[in-house]
Amino acid sequence: MSELSPTLELASELIRRQSVTPEDEGCQALMCERLEAIGFKVEHLRFDDVDNFWAVRGDGGPIFAFAGHTDVVPTGDESEWKHKPFDPVIDDGILYGRGAADMKGSLAAMVTACEEFVAKHPNHNGRIAFLITSDEEGVAINGTVKVVDWLETQNEKITWCLVGEPSSTNEVGDVIKNGRRGSLGCWMTVKGKQGHVAYPHLAANPIHKLAPALAEMAAETWDEGNDFFPATSFQVSNMNSGTGATNVIPGTVDLIFNFRFSTELTEAQLRERSEAIFDKHGLDYDCKWILSGHPFLTAEGKLVEAAVTAIKNQCGIETELSTAGGTSDGRFIAPTGAQVLELGPVNATIHQVNECVKAEDLDKLSLTYTQILEELLA
């Protein structure tokens, strides 16, 4: 491991720390030590059981922030791994380990990019910052969202934010996420009346009452999408009802569904239209709506231009702007007015057994991050 590049050495050190969400296990301390050595001032921000930090270099001007998370998902059955998940190994040019792609590889590339950039430009324009949490892979209530609230109290505004989520599809840099759909979930209970299946006139089957409404929800065209987002989608993820007996009409049915929605709609419109369908079908229901994030979009601007240029120069490819996929912590940062992009390694193995990245991809990523800094702050 002593012959590895600085980025791969740091990525390996981070992978060795078993930081299963929401634990950090010293990852942030390692990053902060490196950042403080090149002039960053660090604020450690612990909310409940979650470690976070905000680090800044520079005295004034626009803020370019790297954002990311040190926590990883559980490994699953470790016997199914080719190599031990927290024992980083480079095998035939591939770095294996939990977090290699999501997202300790990106974190290492961010730190080494800053080390390279500061060495060349010690008196750079503006400020460089890090917003790092250990709460992204879990419930995400004491991490980035709390740090953003704290920044608001400090009157600090991020101008440009690069989130290190694994955005790439086939090769590093081929896709950058310049936005994400919103996510609105609902926990719904439809009430009926329990009874004997032989006497349905004495009962009210909530599944039968729900079915026509559910069919209408599934067939509804919620919007047509736009140039940046696909049409809003509705999906049922869970349905539970009954006692387990074949001769009992259930008294309730529980349903969980989700909207992934574009900028053509608001959460309020989705709630109102859904409940109008439920009312139309005469359902007796309770709904608990949970908004995980609003849609956001960085359609153009200096950050997009810098990323596109850096990817072309360092990776030798033309990148694609995309808003596909799930949510990320960018959903908490974009509402402050920041331009937000996600750029990281290939995502083919994230959350899987044998998570891995091409070793050379992390070095390319570090060079790309360095050039983005140069485009914006040199």
Q: CB-based burial of residue 206 (10 Å sphere; 0-12 exposed, 13-18 middle, 19+ buried)?
A: buried
Rounded CA separation 51/22 (Å): 8
Residue 133's H or E segment, with its range, is strand 127-133
The number of angstroms, rounded, from the C-alpha of 348 to the middle of its chain's C-alpha atoms is: 15
What sign has the CA pseudo-torsion 111, 116, 122, 125?
A: negative
Residue 365 tokens read as 């990523």
Q: Helices 27-36 and 104-120, interaxial angle, to 10°?
A: 10
- Residue 98 structure tokens: 């939990």
Find residue 249's DSSP bridge partners.
195
Residues assigned a catalytic role: 71, 136
Concatenated DSSP letters for 313-335? HHH-S--EEE--S---THHHHGG
Q: Which helix (H) or strand (E) holds 205?
A: none
- Separation CA 371–CA 378 (nearest Å): 9
Task: Say how far apart CA 120 and CA 203 lie, in whole Å.
Answer: 77
Among candidate residues 15, 6, 13, the one with its CA nearest the CA of residue 97: 15
- Cβ contact 285:192 at 8 Å: no
* Rounded CA Rg of the chain: 24
Chain position carrying tokens 């949490």: 133
Between CA 47 and CA 205 the distance in angstroms is: 46
Q: At what angle do helices 302-315 and 359-377 cross, to 10 degrees?
A: 140
Nearest alpha carbon to residue 83 among 72, 73, 74, 91: 91
